[in-house]
Structure 1
């Protein structure tokens, strides 16, 4: 702590990062519509004034939070595809992304869909989803031609949405067959 004219001041170099992480938690719990500066500040355990100090407004905070989330998902996707040594291993990696990794938690599912909904309405957020898709396709293109990579990317998105929202468990054999047909 350092002294300031108004009394002791807390030194908190990770405050901005903590606010971004808390924002993702609030979105996962309450959705974008239920996310406010006040809720995020409370979740991050920071004074409300920190919100306007670190972010120009809610759009900037949401953009930073969703950018962090998209990067983390893309990083996992890229690592999985980079580990595949041949086309057969790449096919197995795609199946694993759908059946094991993608939307591995309810939180990831909610955050992904909140980002998709926001991007459908707000062009600035579409840049995040486009960058996310571009990274996925580039990772797939290590093993597949660009058209197949684009189709696989769409298949992954669709199958993971179905897996997450369907009331019946997804049969992994269906995923295997779909990947084999496309590749």
Structure 2
């Protein structure tokens, strides 16, 4: 009888591979077979570690959202006052939220999945909560919601608009919320 290979990182590799496959071909193009190939694991490992594709997608997008949230929170935590917060938000929009080559695509894939399937909205809800908690350290609840929405919109426009978006335009938009 063959011995089972001990591979404690296999589940993590599968999740990371799922994110890579999603970034490459979207959620619609993600299959157990493609993820297993990318992770370098037997196809049977997929059903051993995940009961369904939805479970794998939830795990993968949760990992991704946490990774981006940590980056976001660290940037905001370094801001000591509102002027520093303006600079932090500009940096988030133009650099941090798309620090990885797949971050924009993964963000949009998650939003689309959450829009289509309410079960995935919990991931985006928790992500927004973490963002608002970080922002809430320096601004009131109303400004926290406005700023969070502005960051999301500016991030998308900055990275999808074919014309380069100016940091000065972002800075001015943030200042209009923080210093009305």
Q: TM-score under structure 2 normalisation?
A: 0.96
Q: 1:175 aligns with which of 153, 170, 179?
A: 170
Does structure 1 residue 117 correspond to structure 2 residue 115? no
For residues 1-183 of structure 1, the aligned pairs below 5 Å read 5=1, 7-183=2-178
Cα distance in 2 for residues equivalent to 1:81 and 1:65 = 24
Structural RMSD (CA): 0.9
Aligned partners of 2:116, 2:64: CA distance in 1, in Å? 19
Contiguous gaps of at least 5 residues in structure 2: none
Deviates more, 1:39-48 or 1:97-106: 97-106
Q: Secondary structure at the match of 2:111?
A: helix
TM-score by structure 1 length?
Answer: 0.95
Shift of 1:19: 0.3
CA apart distance, 1:104: 2.7
Regions of 4+ moved over 4 Å: none
Q: CA deviation at 1:92?
A: 1.1
Q: CA deviation at 1:8?
A: 3.6
Distance in structure 1 (CA, Å) of the matches to 2:79 and 2:46? 42
CA deviation after TM superposition for structure 1 residue 9, in Å: 2.6
Question: Hey, what's the Cα distance between the residues in 2 that align with 1:11 and 1:104?
Answer: 33
Ranges in structure 1 where 5+ consecutive residues have no aligned partner:
none
Number of residue equivalences: 178
SS at match of 2:33: helix
SS in 2 for 1:158: helix
| Counterparts of 1:68 and 1:39, CA distance in 2 | 19
How big is the shift at 1:99?
A: 1.8
